[in-house]
Amino acid sequence: MKLRLFLFILAIPALTALYYVASIVGLVGPLWPTDPEIHPRASFSGNVSDIAFDAINASALFDIKNAELICGVDQAIFEDAIGRLIGSAGFAFLSGKTSIPARGSISQQCDVFGSMQIGPGGAVSMRSILSTAPTGFSGPLKVRKICLWIGVNYTVFGVERRFRSKMFQWPASQDDHSWVEAPIVSEQTRKSMKIGDIACGDAVRLPYNLFSGPVAPILVFQ
């Protein structure tokens, strides 16, 4: 009995400290480094130049410094000026470097238009690097469907972190033109769907092409 009482008395300072830490975390946020939170902007009309997202740093003390931002497109359907559909999948591009202050956020554009363009003769080009033969497509392009993910590469205490967001789907449905976290759809189901159907998977499909400038993309396997 005396031993239990003694142990209880010893535990009081630790329990009190935990209570205060939990209270502080509840008020100001985590006191340790955290991965960013990613939220696509609600206002998206389908114009490829309008895709933007917010990245939030919930940590109360630690900035996310020199973060390398990546816009990833797991799959997308574009529509040209006369209603013809163009499909693309498995590409990503660097969207610049930035820092996210503790308890702060940033807004960033996702330049999908810069990724896919219609050139002379209707040739479809990707980042002005890869190009098809003339196809007769007519610009400008609009997004009909997109499965989007955001990557953030950064370093904490000398340790490299590779954060990948959840998959985001636009539109949520044929009648709901808002962003939604993608539902889990089996790969077999996706392969059997028609080009205009709306369904994104839950994870990034590998490999994908990463564009990092005016050079040929690299193939990423992890």
Would you state the pLDDT for residue 208? 92
pLDDT on residue 187: 58
Confidence category of residue 11, pLDDT binned at 50, 70, 90: very low
pLDDT score, position 58: 93
**Between the ranges 5-9, 11-15, 157-161, where is the mean pLDDT highest?**
157-161
Cα–Cα distance for residue pair 57/60, rounded to 1 Å: 8
Reported as a single tens digit per residue, the pLDDT across 145-190 is 889 999 999 988 888 999 999 998 888 777 777 788 876 555 556 5
The pLDDT tens digits of the residues spanning 188-220 come to: 565 555 555 657 877 888 899 998 877 888 999
Question: How sure is the predictor about 21, in pLDDT bands with cuts at 50, 70 and 90?
Answer: very low
Helix (H) or strand (E) holding 131: strand 130-131
The Cβ-side half-sphere exposure at 32, using a 13 Å CA radius, reads 2
Pair of tokens at residue 116? 């896919």
**Backbone torsion region of residue 66, taken as left when φ is above 0, otherwise alpha when ψ lies between -120 and 50, otherwise beta:** left
What's the rounded Cα separation, in Å, for the pair 195 and 15?
57
